[in-house]
A and B are shown apart, each in its own frame.
Chain A
């Protein structure tokens, strides 16, 4: 019982990392496609915490 609940929590954490990866990918894609410089800078700024969390640096 204990192990299964801890594992369940772990899976939720992995799910959040997966979501972070998807959002980071979407932001990077939008950055790549964007033609507006101001919008591009905004995408870069938003991307930083997603990348740092994925690398476990934040």
Chain B
């Protein structure tokens, strides 16, 4: 064998080795199933394909956890995992499913709204594949996904994504971004069909209020806020005032959903259904472009010297110091905001009220950590997997 062939063989060998290592990691993430303990009020777990049959057999045939009090009232729906690189959504959604006790009406939770996007990570930006929350019984592990659905489930992207039905032109990759494809369409690509299925659920089940959980980089102006459709403005404004006055160290604002910005849940769900739609944002330093080492501890502790430095130069839209934005603060803010919005909704529409207990608020989550509210699967009577 001559020298060139020996080099070729060695190069192929190294490539195969690298591919095998990468593939093992990739498959470990794609095949990992997150365990959800079905809490005291979970009466039913439905599949999204019941509302859009073409999703059957796809990764986005997600679980819909229905907590029904059995008593008259309204229906509030919470979406976690719209953007899987924002981990507070799935954590808060798990805490709701595992702890909430419904005393009136229904609470519906989706823990992985765009499950396909949670099946691969953003390794090119050094994102970890998984994140963990410490609990009394061990660690609970989730997939840390990417912003849009996996290209294995939706490929190719169009040159330009033309949103349906507004015909607004958006970036090509947003065809896989769940919060750019509302209200969806039955004959679209996977993410469009996912939002179409969720819209069918919202309309058929007469959802009164949809809450979409998010996080945002501190460089982004829509931060620590409730973005509200016109129908939900009063609830968002009252919640923002009460939470800022009574609970949060850093104020939570309220913003109007722009009428000309299409594809987002806070706009389209309100426009194409009877439901009020609101979206929550909280600061997540790992999403900032100017961050330093990108790892699980940054994700969970929210501390980064580069982001602190950016704050000193007035480049951020949220306060940032050495304490950072730890996961308990972010989860606590979302849980309190959910509960506050439900309370205000129930007060304003008593015939459609939803009463929830058993869910911790901001101060309790900070004191005990989110892990204190995640149940041990080994002790659980009923579980489901995402």
Contacts and interface: CB of A to CB of B under 8 A. Distances in A.
Contacts of A6: 54, 187, 193
A57 B26 contact: yes
B371 to A, nearest CB: 33
A9 B188 CA distance: 8
A40 B7 contact: yes
Main DSSP-derived SS at the B contact region: helix
Interface string A13-30: 100100000000000000
Contacts of B26: 57-58
A16 B15 contact: no
B18 A2 contact: no
Nearest to A31: B8
Nearest to A12: B156
Interface in A1-49: 1-6, 9, 12-13, 16, 31, 34-37, 40-41, 44-45, 47-48
Contact of A2 (B4, B22, B152, B186): B186
A46 B11 CA distance: 12
Interface string B325-347: 00000000000000000000000
A16 to B, nearest CB: 5
Interface residues of B, number: 23
Contacts of A56: 152
Contacts of A55: 23
Contacts, number: 57
Interface residues on A, range: 20 to 34
B7 A41 contact: yes
Contacts of B19: 48, 51-52, 57
A40 B155 contact: no
Interface string B16-28: 0011001100110
Interface string B169-197: 00000000000000000111100010000
B11 A44 contact: yes
Contacts of A3: 54
A32 B253 CA distance: 62
Contact of A40 (B8, B23, B193): B8
Contacts of A37: 3-4, 7-8
B293 interface: no
A30 B163 CA distance: 41
A57 B23 contact: yes
A31 to B, nearest CB: 7
Contacts of B155: 13, 16
B245 interface: no
Contacts of A34: 4, 8
B4 A47 contact: no
A36 B5 CA distance: 10
Given A40-B8, A45-B15, A48-B15, A13 B156 contact: yes
B348 interface: no
Contacts of B23: 52, 55, 57
Contacts of A35: 4
Nearest to A19: B156
Contacts of A48: 15, 18-19
Nearest to A5: B187
Nearest to A17: B155
A52 B24 CA distance: 12
Contacts of B27: 57
Interface of A: 1-6, 9, 12-13, 16, 31, 34-37, 40-41, 44-45, 47-48, 51-52, 55-58
25 contacts: A1-B187, A2-B54, A3-B54, A4-B187, A5-B187, A5-B188, A13-B156, A16-B155, A34-B8, A37-B7, A37-B8, A40-B8, A44-B8, A44-B11, A44-B14, A45-B15, A47-B15, A51-B19, A52-B23, A55-B23, A57-B19, A57-B22, A57-B23, A57-B26, A58-B152
Leading 5 A-B pairs by shortest Cβ distance: A5-B187, A37-B7, A57-B23, A44-B11, A2-B187
